[in-house]
Every structure is written in C-alpha cells, then in structure tokens.
C-alpha cells in the first residue's frame, strides 16, 4: 500500500466549500502515480519503454464524509486484484489531521493494452512489482 498526500485547492471545491465529487478520481489518479513511483517505476516508463497503456475501464467511489478546501488528504492506494491483462486499484481517502475518519473509498479497474489499443498481457516486470508489494 502507498500513502500519498495532497492538499485540497480552492478550485477543487464547489460553492459550499466541499470537494466536488469528480475530483476524488483525480486524487485516486495521483495516488496511482505515487504507487508506481514508490516502486521505482512510472506510467511514463510503461508507455515509452514497454508500449503499455492502462486505461481506466471502470471507476467507482463511495463518499462517506466531505473533504473541504485546504484539507491535507491521505490517499491510500493498493492493487487489490491482478489478472492476466488487467489490474484493480482500491483507495481510501482520509484527512491527515483525522486519519480515523474515512472520507471516501474507491476502485479503478485498468485494462492493459498495447499502443494499437488491443488487450495484452501485463509485462512481467509490472506483475513482479505488484506481487512484491503484497
């Protein structure tokens, strides 16, 4: 599991000062990038060197309590399912100053496709990184 920290900016909120619902998916994306960086990789390496893309094919979020402007958030991400040509990330989002309070949970499913857009196996290096993470 990787824990990423991000601060809510004013532009992420609605008129009530609450984080707009779609922005939680941006926070999930940020945590995914940090997940790969923490393991010595990046999406850029996957795309350039491996020729692999990981488009989101399904995304869900369950909102429990609102995040607000200037909150510092903890976004925990881990791979919860690994298949031959897809992987699933699960997320928990909490406020740093109240980590016991769950703000949002989420999940994204990613297909593994080549540059031609056709499904392909996940590269062995990625499978190994995910398995080592436990």
Indicate the number of domains in the chain.
1
- Range 107-111 average pLDDT: 98
- 131 contacts 82 by C-beta, under 8 angstroms: yes
Q: Is the pLDDT of residue 45 over 90?
A: no
Rounded Cα distance, 8 and 24, in Å = 10
Backbone phi, then psi, for 17, in 5-degree steps? Answer: 80, 10
- Range 5-14 average pLDDT: 97
Three-class SS of residue 20?
coil
Q: How far is CA 3 from the centre of its chain?
A: 10
Three-class SS of residue 128?
helix
Q: Which residues pair with 131 in a beta bridge?
A: none
Is the pTM above the cut of 0.85? yes
- 66 contacts 44 by C-beta, under 8 angstroms: no
- Both tokens of 45, joined, read 């390496």
Q: What is the pLDDT of residue 103?
A: 98
Strands (E), 1-134: 2-7, 52-53, 56-63, 72-82, 86-95, 98-111, 113-114
Q: What is the pLDDT of residue 116?
A: 93
Residues designated catalytic: 14
Rounded Cα distance, 85 and 3, in Å = 25
Supply the CATH number for residue 96's domain: 3.10.129.10
For 120, the domain range is 2-133
């Amino acid at each position: 599991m990787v824990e990423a920290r991000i601060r809510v900016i004013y532009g992420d909120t609605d008129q009530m000062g609450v984080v707009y619902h779609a922005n939680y998916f941006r926070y999930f994306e940020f945590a995914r990038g940090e997940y790969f960086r923490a393991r010595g990789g990046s999406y850029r390496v996957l795309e350039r060197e491996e020729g692999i893309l990981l488009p989101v094919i399904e995304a869900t979020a369950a909102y429990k309590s609102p995040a607000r402007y200037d909150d510092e958030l903890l976004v925990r991400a881990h791979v919860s399912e690994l298949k031959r040509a897809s992987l699933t990330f699960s997320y928990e989002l909490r406020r740093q100053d109240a980590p016991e309070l769950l703000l949002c949970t989420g999940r994204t499913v990613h297909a593994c496709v080549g540059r031609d857009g056709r499904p392909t196996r996940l590269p062995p290096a990625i499978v190994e990184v995910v398995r080592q993470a436990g």
